[in-house]
A and B are shown apart, each in its own frame.
Chain A
Amino acid sequence: MTDTPFTIAGRTFTSRLIVGTGKYSSHAVMAQAHEASGADMVTVAVRRVNISDRSRESLLDYIDTSRIFILPNTAGCYTADEAVRTARLGREAGLSNWVKLEVIGDERTLFPDNEALIEATRTLVREGFVVLPYTNDDPIACRKLEDAGAAAVMPLGAPIGSGLGIQNVNNIRIIREFARVPLIVDAGVGTASDAALAMELGADGVLMNTAIAGAEEPVRMAEAMKHAIIAGRLAYLAGRIPRKAYATASSPAEGMVGR
């Protein structure tokens, strides 16, 4: 298989790894991790400015926006209205009309409320947004999001921050088969092999935050993830061997000394 560029809504990215900006011990560590990851798209949250404490550093001081594309998200939104409002604010704060759309259905699992998500997607697409919705590993939800105009679909591998990896490998494979827009596995990645697996299943990209920011050595893990994404993509393009129940010898049967 030949590779094709990683393109979403007409914009091409050099890296298939997308990373977040949350949970880092400092902005400086975050910047180093971003560098090590090779990512050229990062997600940010939209929140109130801290009026009373103006000494806080600005996140944007630590992101080179000439090289890195900023994707605002609607993290923390539990209704379509909240998510739409946050997306609109993100657009005005900013730098583009792109949004990583999250409408959360439950506090403990942070699973998406697909019904509200699809509604919010329709609204934002109508307003000219490029919508990248975080959803679950349900091929039907992904199809509905595509039909609603999403520029990509982003099924979770496992709950946000859980580090469980790809919980439903077969569903991700099925979503890959059905998807007519880029497929990005978003959430649940724990370590490098999880990211590689997502790419081996045919994902176009992987989005992660906690796996890197929460690692003991975030910068080193960011580098690991960079390689994992590349390795997984190459393995996918290379066409793996089938799985078999029994052995198939690798060495010739004839010419054995003593036989």
Chain B
Amino acid sequence: MKITLNGDPFELEAPLTVADLLARLAIDARRVAVEHNLTILKRPAFAETIVSDGDTVEIVNFVGGGDDLFLILDS
């Protein structure tokens, strides 16, 4: 199955929870925010929200910055 992850296509064999997806990507769940199909998830929802075929997921964190032009989130 295919999802859009941070703006790019991403392959997965089967649906899984957001928590499992983060673990698979070796991303510390405590340091990120996740948007699933344009809904921003609260952290407790990571273990309950299922990512399925065709979903759009955005995973963001804090980076150095303030005043440069960076890529912005696509709608």
By a beta-carbon cutoff of 8 Å, the part of chain A in contact with chain B is 20-24, 27, 30, 43-49, 51, 54, 58-60, 70, 72-73, 75-78, 82, 85-86, 88-94, 107, 110, 160-161, 187, 209-210
Using CB atoms and an 8 Å cutoff, list the residues of chain B in contact with chain A. Answer: 5-8, 10, 25-28, 31-35, 40-43, 58-73
Which among A54, A75, A90, A94 is the interface contact of B67 at CB below 8 angstroms?
A75
Which of chain B's residues has its CB closest to A58's CB? Answer: B31
Contacts of A48 in B (CB 8 A): 6-7, 58-60, 71, 73
When distances are taken between beta carbons in the complex, the residues of chain B under 8 Å from A49 are 6, 25, 27, 32, 59-61
A44–B62 CB distance below 8 A = yes
Picked from A20, A51, A161, the residue with its CB within 8 Å of the CB of B59 is A51
A75 to B7, CA, bound (A): 19
Q: Separation in Å of the A41 CB from the closest CB of chain B?
A: 12
- Whether A107 and B5, one on each chain, are in contact in the complex, defined by CB atoms closer than 8 angstroms, is no
Once bound together, how far apart are the Cα atoms of A23 and B43, in whole Å?
30
Which B residues touch A92, using CB under 8 A? 33-34, 40-43
Q: How far is the CB of B65 from chain A (nearest CB, A)?
A: 3
Q: Is A76 within 8 A of B69, CB to CB?
A: yes
Bound together, the chains give a CA A22 to CA B63 distance in angstroms of: 8
User: What is the distance, in angstroms, from A93's C-beta to the closest C-beta of chain B?
Assistant: 4
Residues of A within 8 A of B5 (CB): 51
Which residues on A sit within 8 Å (CB–CB) of B64? 20-24, 27, 30, 44-45, 59
Chain B residues closer than 8 Å to A160, beta-carbon distance: 66-67
A82 contacts which chain B residues (CB < 8 A)? 72-73
11 contacts between A and B (CB under 8 A): A24-B64, A43-B66, A46-B63, A47-B61, A59-B63, A72-B62, A75-B67, A77-B72, A92-B34, A107-B69, A161-B68
A72 / chain B contacts, CB cutoff of 8 Å: 62
9 A-B pairs closest in CB distance = A45-B65, A20-B66, A92-B33, A93-B33, A21-B64, A22-B65, A160-B67, A44-B62, A89-B33
Candidates B28, B33, B40, B65; contact of A21 at CB < 8 Å:
B65
User: What residues of B have a CB within 8 angstroms of the CB of A54 in the complex?
Assistant: 25-27
